[in-house]
Chains A and B, each alone.
Chain A
Amino acid sequence: MEVLILLIFVSLVMVTLAVGFFAWGLRERVYDHSDRLTLLPLEDDSPARVLGSKRTPSKSDM
């Protein structure tokens, strides 16, 4: 069971490192590029058109 003390110590060091690294990342704004990326899926990809014609479905269709 002595190994538990070692494991808990190592885990705490790892957690402290991770939290510290995260805080540093926020301060240094290293993830700012992601602000644009989060919006990528939301970009409007319309207009869709009926296959084989130039007709675009009207808003009331959708």
Chain B
Amino acid sequence: MKTERVVYDDKIVRWFAGASIIWGLIGMLVGVTVALQLAAWQTNLPPYLSFGRLRPLHTNAVIFAFVGNMIFAGIYYSTQRLLKTRLANDKLSWFHFWGWQSIIVGATVTLPLGITTSKEYAELEWPIDIMIAVVWVAFAINFFWTLAKRREKQLYVALWFYIATIVTITVLHVVNSLAIPYSAFGSYSVFGGVQDALVQWWYGHNAVAFFLTTPILGIMYYFLPKAVDRPVFSYRLSIVHFWGLVFIYIWAGPHHLLYTSLPEWAQTVGMVFSLMLWAPSWGGMINGLLTLRGAWDKLRTDPVLKFFAAGVTFYGMSTFEGPLLSIKAVNGLAHYTDWIVGHVHSGTLGWNGFFAAGMFYWLYPRLWGTKLYSEKAANYHFWIATVGILLYVVSMWVSGITQGLMWRAVNEDTGALQYTFIETVVAMKPMYWTRMTGGTLYFIGYCMLAWNVYMTAKQGSPVETVVEVPVEPKPENELSWVALVFGKPALVAYGTVAAVIAIGFVSGAMSIAALVVALGIAIGGAYSIVKGKKDGKPAWHAVLEGRALIFTVLTVVAVLVGGIAELIPLVVTTNEDTRLTSNVPYTALELHGRDVYISEGCYTCHSQQVRPFEWETARYGNRVSTIDDSIFDHPFQWGSKRTGPDLAHEGGLRPDSWHWRHMIDPRAVTPDSIMPNYPHLVEDRVNLDQTEAKMRAMRTVGVPYTVDQIHSGLEDARVDGQRIADNLREEAQIEAAPDSKMVALIAYLQRLGRIPTAVAQADEAAEEFAEDAEELAEARLAESANDTTDPEGGR
């Protein structure tokens, strides 16, 4: 048979691997820093290095810089070998590399400066978002071009996961980043309130799915068999794993929004699909673990296999915990607590971090034509990191469950809340120190990896792989694309899914009818496929695996179904919601204040969403949050964590001067608070010249500002600023600049939960709430004469 000589491009793999390790060290160091800041507030260095600004830098650095570069290295290395061809275009590969590093540098500069959209894991502002889209498309072109010139017709399962990653991240990033700019580094999301919440968590959840999971699964399916020198346990199972995972994952986003103002149907869909995810996730985990069958003894000595085996185990643990947390009753306890942080880190440190470590320890010797410098150090790394993860995760479980239970604890005699919020914060402090210790151990382990692979590279020389591959003749009589896209199995799947989705849009007898139709199509279709199979003909899926384009199209269909079914109904109804709302848009100064709130990362610790629990309304203003409350929030500010109390109904509860003192030194009004100081807000000025541009951008995204309001916005902001400054002087002899960021932030905080047309109702609730708080304070004072906690600040 005729053969061709192929030289693989491993230089790009070496660079991506090196970048991943360097950024990983930086991202983890920032992680340890923010963990320390939660344990010891004094380590916040405002404005640039305080928790609210560093936390997004940590998540972006570890997700997109560390894991991102790692998956590019793994994808480029394995794709060339599985397709028996060199990457399609060297220039595109390098554009991809340098473009991605530029994006990360952009994030590293802008996030500490407070330039952020506040959308979790999508905080980068619009110019960087555009760069991400361009670089990602370059990566996609390079990948699919390589697929097109492949010398191996059949696509191995790892490649399916890479395809799903590339197409889905493109869709997620583009949709979630849609925004209208008002300046070079400022923009407002086109989505608002509940709609934005759904889009954001559709993105956020699937960023975890398609950036932190599917590419690593692809890497697992390639590198694990390679490391253990055995084929994957079951290729058949991998087919079920792939299609099950990509179809179901995309629906699960709303589990981040249980008990919020998101419509009930969307919450239920999110919960049900999250539970369904258990099956394919564990199918994949079992497939990975059983690939090690017959080679378990190697785990004693081989650090690569140690990391891979533990990584797959952590994948199993976190994909068990995810669906568990999606059950509404469990979520009611765990949401907003540290349990979620522990869950996320068992996945990222255990699954992503360990797979990265295993891959690098396997890859570096091969890329530099030498042995690993120190297997002993790699083994030490494994054990140090494992202990680190366990300390981290267990402390966050304890902390989260304790928080959840303390928040809902009610005095049986008085019916009053048993703990102020600050008491729950104080109870967490030992766990925060334990978490920081665990994170530090993990970081030390990674430093050992960096040293080990550096020494490995130093003792070897960069090598390139040259192979002779057979040139296969072009097959004759291939099935047409029509036969594949509209083949029997595809039609049965389309029909069944369409009928199942229809159940959600009809009610009563019609929904039963739709269910019967779905079953009928599934049963009838299966029978037809079984009957129609001719002996000797290749199976439909076998043919599909050899057709990259059709495979990609079907993957896109599988992925998009869930997104469309969930997002479209909410997008369609939003205009009506906006028309009927009793809410009115923020004043110009409140809008500026909201931007300060976002810029300082307040949303990383404070939620703005009161759930329908008595113990929650009792703590937060006697009112459950509604769609109306956040309808003009572009983007929404519901948050995902309560390191500090919820602020949904903060407006009017305390005087302006309280907020002033609280921002300058939180401990002056709430002893034991762990919130950073924000003294710079007194000196920093709001750019009032941007008022009109901001209001115009808001109007473009659907906020009903009138032309007059926009024209008078600047003057209104000045007048409102002066009013608050006068008030501060009157209340506490505080001299404030009317255009200071502090004044704007106070304007915003005093507006929260106080829809002007419903002010009377809100004031009544606030008054009632203040009375309750006073009674609680008195009761507590009676209980303990030494209690120094401010009942208002502590809540």
Residues of A within 8 A of B (CB): 6, 10, 13-14, 17, 20-21, 24-25, 28, 30-31, 33-43, 45-51, 57, 61-62
Contact = CB atoms under 8 A, between A and B. Distances in A.
Interface residues of B, number: 48
Contact of A57 (B152, B370, B512): B370
A10 B154 CA distance: 36
A34 B236 contact: yes
Contacts of B530: 21, 24
B158 A41 contact: yes
Given A41-B82, A41-B156, A41-B225, A31 B522 contact: no
Contact of B156 (A10, A17, A37, A51): A37
A31 B533 CA distance: 13
A49 B464 contact: yes
A2 to B, nearest CB: 11
B519 A61 contact: no
B329 interface: no
Contact of B533 (A28, A34, A41, A47): A28
Contacts of A13: 519, 523
B541 A51 contact: no
Interface stretch (B226-234, B434-442, B589-597, B754-762): B226-234
The residue among B8, B223, B366 with the most chain A CB atoms within 10 A of its own CB is B366
A53 to B, nearest CB: 9
Contact of A51 (B225, B236, B464): B464
A30 B82 contact: no
Contact of A45 (B8, B236, B545): B8
| Most chain B beta carbons < 10 A, residue from A13, A36, A40, A45 | A40
Contacts of B236: 25, 31, 34
Contacts of B11: 51
Interface stretch (B339-347, B455-463, B710-718): B455-463
Contacts of A25: 236, 539
B81 interface: yes
B369 A48 contact: yes
A57 B539 contact: no
A40 B152 contact: yes
Nearest to B540: A30
A51 B539 contact: no
Nearest to B224: A41
A20 B366 CA distance: 45
5 nearest CB pairs, A to B:
A34-B235, A30-B539, A57-B369, A38-B231, A48-B463
Given A47-B466, A57-B369, A61-B370, A31 B78 contact: no
A47 B8 CA distance: 11
A60 B510 CA distance: 71
Contacts of B221: 41
Given A31-B541, A34-B236, A43-B81, 6 more contacts: A33-B539, A41-B231, A45-B465, A45-B467, A51-B462, A61-B369
B317 interface: no
B370 A45 contact: no
A43 to B, nearest CB: 8
B522 A45 contact: no
B519 A10 contact: yes
A57 B463 contact: yes
B475 interface: no
Given A42-B225, A61-B369, A10 B461 contact: no
Interface in B528-549: 530, 533, 538-539, 541-542, 545
A17 B465 contact: no
Nearest to B537: A30
Contacts of B229: 42
Nearest to B8: A45
A51 B467 CA distance: 14
A6 B370 CA distance: 62
Interface string B250-265: 0000000000000000
Nearest to B370: A61
B515 interface: yes
B542 A30 contact: yes
A50 B369 contact: yes
A41 B226 contact: yes
B84 to A, nearest CB: 9
19 contacts: A10-B515, A13-B519, A30-B533, A31-B235, A33-B542, A36-B154, A38-B225, A38-B231, A38-B235, A41-B78, A47-B465, A47-B466, A48-B466, A49-B465, A51-B463, A57-B463, A61-B370, A62-B369, A62-B371
Given A24-B530, A30-B542, A42-B229, A37 B369 contact: no
A48 B371 contact: no
Nearest to B7: A49
Contacts of A31: 235-236, 239, 539, 541-542
B81 A61 contact: no
Contacts of B81: 41, 43, 45
Tell me which of B152, B222, B463, B512 has the highest count of chain A C-beta atoms within 10 A of its own C-beta.
B463
Contacts of B154: 33, 36-37, 40
Contact of A42 (B231, B239, B545): B231
B215 interface: no
Given A31-B236, A31-B539, A45-B81, A40 B519 contact: no
A14 B515 CA distance: 12
Contacts of B466: 47-49
B750 to A, nearest CB: 46
Nearest to A44: B467
A36 B235 CA distance: 10
A30 B156 contact: no
A45 B83 CA distance: 12
A4 to B, nearest CB: 13
